[in-house]
Amino acid sequence: MIVKEMYHNPVLLNESIEGLNIKDGGTYVDATYGGGGHTSRILEELKGGRVIAFDQDIDAIENKQQDTRLQLIHANFRYMTEQLEAKGITKVDGILADLGISSHQIDTPERGFSIRFDAPLDMRMSNQSARTAADIVNTYPAPRLQKMFSVYGEITNAANLARTIERARSVKHIRTTGDLIEAIKSCTPPHGANKYLAQVFQSLRIELNEEVDVLKDLLRQSETLLNKGGRLVVISYHSLEDRLVKNFMRTGNFEGIPQKNMYGHDLRPFEPITKKPVVPAEEEIESNNRARSAKMRIAEKL
């Protein structure tokens, strides 16, 4: 078992637990268990009640903490409703989702998430998935690669990057993170190379794991699952994710278009608690640099 403190340092821990507004005897969902840091704090604050946690990564499942109030489910949180219903649960009092990848995933070379190691170009959140990031790099046509890098990585030279990858793979199959970094060297700026490569890797990870669609599934399900007064707390790390969360919490849809009834009153399932996203304090960023891009939003079910 990996020591939890080493597995992942939970981001915005105090702020997210406060945002859940935990009630004794309630049922709470931690959609992204990871190292169990957020779950541990929920259990500390919770008298009675229970926590249902999800993670698709078997490494996280093997790090389950021992508490009779905790049920840990080995599944992607996009299947939250059906998994809860299988346990006889139709309503919950709070849902917390930290959308970032764990420190353990980044620091395990063979997972292929990091630019620091030459490892298989994997990036799967679940090892049960067949497709890897290498499959995307070696099979997607240039226009599809360009869109992926532009939307998910906000990469300004996405078209050139896509063509460069297409040329490189025609000469040599791109199998490892090192192969990819070498193949796109001509596109990588000499200054800010690490940031650029991180954006490339982020694009591949989001595409491979269908993270945008999975987030939308989570948000839609939260509307039905949460009791009145229940809290939804989401920590995101990418502007696209944050925009989806913001729009849904404000309007109940991903476009951010207010819907009104015949009397002109807003039709929306949530009341945003945070008008602006909560971001980590400088002290937290100094102790955990991976928290620097985190943005948390909180909403209450109406």
Residue 4 has pLDDT above 50, yes or no: no
* Contact criterion met (CB below 8 Å) for 33 and 101: no
pLDDT of residue 5: 45
For residues 82 and 218, membership in a common domain is answered with yes
DSSP H or E segment with residue 229: strand 226-236
pLDDT of residue 2: 42
For residues 262 and 290, membership in a common domain is answered with yes
- 176 located within any domain: yes
- 34 located within any domain: yes
The span from the CA of 277 to the CA of 78, in Å, is 23
For residues 215 and 95, membership in a common domain is answered with yes
- 119 located within any domain: no
For residues 18 and 52, membership in a common domain is answered with yes
Q: Which residues pair with 163 in a beta bridge?
A: none
For residues 11 and 97, membership in a common domain is answered with yes
Query: Region 214-227: what's the mean pLDDT?
Result: 98
User: Tokens 């309503």, residue?
Assistant: 91
pLDDT of residue 65: 87
* Contact criterion met (CB below 8 Å) for 126 and 76: yes
For residues 146 and 266, membership in a common domain is answered with no
Write out the two tokens for 71.
């049920």
For residues 195 and 215, membership in a common domain is answered with no
* Contact criterion met (CB below 8 Å) for 280 and 292: yes
Reported confidence tier of residue 106, pLDDT bands at 50, 70, 90: confident
Residue 224 has pLDDT above 90, yes or no: yes
- 110 located within any domain: no
| Alpha helix positions (H), 226-275 | 239-251
CATH number at residue 226: 3.40.50.150
Query: Region 101-106: what's the mean pLDDT?
Result: 76
Chosen domain end from 176, 208, 240: 208
- 109 located within any domain: no
pLDDT of residue 7: 56
For residues 14 and 71, membership in a common domain is answered with yes
- 146 located within any domain: yes
Residue 3 has pLDDT above 60, yes or no: no
Q: Which residue has the higher pLDDT, 110 or 252?
A: 252
Residue 104 has pLDDT above 80, yes or no: no
* Contact criterion met (CB below 8 Å) for 70 and 130: no
- 58 located within any domain: yes
- 19 located within any domain: yes
pLDDT of residue 1: 40
Query: Region 186-210: what's the mean pLDDT?
Result: 96
Chosen domain end from 180, 208, 236: 208
For residues 152 and 201, membership in a common domain is answered with yes
Chosen domain end from 158, 191, 208: 208
Residue 223 has pLDDT above 50, yes or no: yes
For residues 27 and 143, membership in a common domain is answered with no
* Residue 187 structural domain: 130-208
Residue 102 has pLDDT above 90, yes or no: no
Our count of domains for the chain comes to 2
Q: Which residue has the higher pLDDT, 61 or 280?
A: 280
Q: Which residues pair with 53 in a beta bridge?
A: 30, 72
pLDDT of residue 8: 59
For residues 22 and 42, membership in a common domain is answered with yes
CATH number at residue 196: 1.10.150.170
For residues 258 and 141, membership in a common domain is answered with no
% helix / strand / coil in the chain, to the nearest 5? 45, 15, 40
